[in-house]
Structure 1
Amino acid sequence: MLTVAHVSDLHLGAHDPDTVRSLIADVTAARPVLTVVTGDVTMRARVREFRQARTVLDRLPQPLLVVLGNHDLPLISPLRVLWPYGRFRTWITSDLQPVVRVPGLTAVGLSSMPRWRWKDGRITRRQAARITGTFGAAAEQDLRLVALHHPPGSLAGRGRLREAVREAGVHLLVAGHTHIPDVRPEHGTVVVVAGTATSHRTRGTGQSWNLIRINSTTITVCERYATGTGWSTGRVIKVSR
């Protein structure tokens, strides 16, 4: 059994401090083999928000895979052109396309937010090739996970992403961005979208994160919701691998 914690849309700078503290405790209690954060760790890519984000990420269970979200680029600033990813690289990770390997699992992170797009994302041919190349070298029995900020349906280049995911035999694709939790199988891959973890920007669904458990036959997604005094399990969705 593998356990993966999937957190998205912290939006530090527009967050609830009590929820941040209880989120760290709840994720830690799950003892995941990997913690995946699918972007928007900050609200407006300000230095003080990245400092807060670094503190939070350091307290989450390791190893950690973090990808860039649209809110992690400066919005209206010369930095958008001159140094779009600089603060994210400085405070979060210098690798915008990270790969993490743990026993039984290989995970690939993709940066789906080009600096010239304001909100919607894009996947390039090079990124699609990175999926097939990385998993081509993975152990046959490994769970294969792809993480990015934008769900496939909102991406330019979604056709090449889906083709690469199918070719590489990806089991699990995790994303954020919409603030609305979702789980659905797509052509043999289970697509899991996380809601808002700690921000006030919840789109009416409540603050949540995903606890994902994987065995040889089933991927089980437990949506964990903030209650004001802690976290409780909401929907539990089981999908065959």
Structure 2
Amino acid sequence: MDDRTLKLFHLSDIHFGLEDRRALAWVEECIAREKPDAVAITGDLTMRARHGEFDAACAWIRALDVPVTVEIGNHDIPYFNLFERFFQPYRRFHAIEDLIEAELDLPRLAIIPLKTTTRAQWQRFPWSNGWVTQGALDETLAAIDAQPAGTRILVAAHHPLTERRERDNKLLTINGTKTMAALAGRGIDAILSGHIHDPFDMTVTTSGGPLRMIGAGTLSHRLRSTPPSFNEIVIEGDEIRVNARNLEDVATTDMLIKEVPENALPPRAPGDPVAPVGAVPAIDPPVS
């Protein structure tokens, strides 16, 4: 039985088109030097799902010389070509097709995908927030149930699963509460996500038991309240340690937000969660 320590790099929201080249060069160097056991990228590879953005994103990911799994983010589904959005939403991923929602099988650890993006949402517009369909949840639960006994499980998704914003009950991820309870009931170790551009590491109470939720920040110029970062996740025995590594050498405790916000825009209203480092841009970052 292989009980060695595992190191994962959890990246998210690279947003080619508004990527931070300095941050990406730093991440490339970290991966080349440290050779993590795997890299999990939890969506939003591009800014507007344009062909040039996908070409750059796929080339960058393909050059990483480690096992990689990639989730689909809401920014990765075509915005302007509605035919592709509804009938060929993943066509532009062709260069890394084998990495999309790939289940990574590591020593006594499985990283299993959960789809939270949809082509359309009749409940709301725009279609940027999360939605876990019953089919997507069933696929993830089946993959969890197929793992050998004793396998540790990390689930990878794009959107955090928080269903409602606490202060005003605004809908965030459709079916998030049910999904959290189902995953907690399966005893997974954590769910990895992105979408909001600030890192977090929190454990929530569900009807199925406690669920650990780990979020990665961004490697783009679209900052919310923390500098560009990625998560280093170390699994050693029964312990999972998260280090929010960043370009400014800010301590992880100062990087983590305590509550899942509505979106990746900088906090402007009272009650919006802000990381202790408080690196909030003076103006809202560009979106295209």
TM over 0.5: yes
2:216 aligns with 194
- The residue that corresponds to 1:139 in the other structure is 148
- Indicate the structure with greater strand content: 1
Deviations 1:135-176 (A, max 9, x none): 222122222010000000131111331132123211010000
Residue 172 of structure 1 contacts residue 189 of structure 1 at CA under 8 Å; is this kept in 2?
yes
**Corresponding residue for 1:203?**
224
User: Aligned match of 1:83 in 88, 91, 94?
Assistant: 88
Q: How far apart, CA to CA, are the structure 2 residues paired with 1:191 and 1:49?
A: 29
1:221 paired with 2:242, answer yes
User: What secondary structure sits across from 1:155 in the alignment?
Assistant: coil
Supply the AA of the counterpart residue of 2:145: G
Q: Which moved more, 1:40-49 or 1:56-65?
A: 56-65
Distance 2:32 2:203 in 1: 28
Corresponding residue SS for 1:222: strand
- The CA distance in 1 between the partners of 2:72 and 2:144, in whole Å, is 21
Quote the offset at 1:61 in angstroms. 4.1
Deviations 1:188-214 (A, max 9, x none): 3321011102x1001131100000111
- Relative to 1, partners in 2 of residues 1:95 and 1:57: Cα closer, same or farther, differing over 3 Å? closer
Offset of residue 65 of structure 1: 0.7
Q: In 1, are the aligned partners of 2:69 and 2:101 still within 8 Å (CA)?
A: no
Name the % identity. 29
Q: Match of 2:158?
A: 149
Larger Rg: 2
CA–CA distance in structure 2, aligned partners of residues 47 and 225 of structure 1: 29
The 8 Å contact of residues 98 and 110 in structure 1, kept in 2 or not, is answered as: no
**1:119 counterpart = 2:128:** yes
Q: 1:63 aligns with which of 64, 67, 85?
A: 67
3-state SS, counterpart of residue 195 of structure 1: coil
Structure 1 residues 43 and 132, CA gap change in structure 2 (3 angstroms): same
For 1:80 and 1:54, the matched residues in 2 are separated by: 19
SS of aligned partner of 1:40: coil
Report the alpha carbon displacement of residue 102 of structure 1 after superposing the two structures with TM.
1.6
**Secondary structure in 1 aligned to 2:86?**
helix
Deviation of 1:215 (Å)? 1.8
**TM-score between both structures, scaled by the size of structure 2:** 0.75
Asked if 1:179 is matched to 2:188, the reply is no
**Unaligned regions of 5+ residues in structure 1, if any?**
none
CA-atom RMSD in angstroms: 1.9
Give the residue type in structure 2 aligned to 1:195.
G
Q: CA deviation at 1:8?
A: 0.2
Higher mean C-alpha displacement, 205-214 vs 69-78: 69-78
Relative to the length of structure 1, the TM-score reads: 0.88
Residue 210 to residue 95, structure 1, CA distance change in 2 (3 Å): closer
Q: Distance in 2 between matches of 1:200 and 1:116?
A: 27
**Mapping for residues 23-34 of structure 1, pairs under 5 Å:** 23-34=27-38
Deviant stretches of 4+, over 6 Å: none
- What is the CA-CA distance between 1:111 and the residue it aligns to? 2.3
2:185 matched residue in structure 1: 167
Name the structure 2 match of 1:105.
109
CA contact (8 A) 1:128 1:160 kept: no
Alpha-carbon deviation of 1:55? 1.5
Aligned mates of 1:21, 1:168 — CA distance in 2: 38
| SS of corresponding position for 1:191 | strand
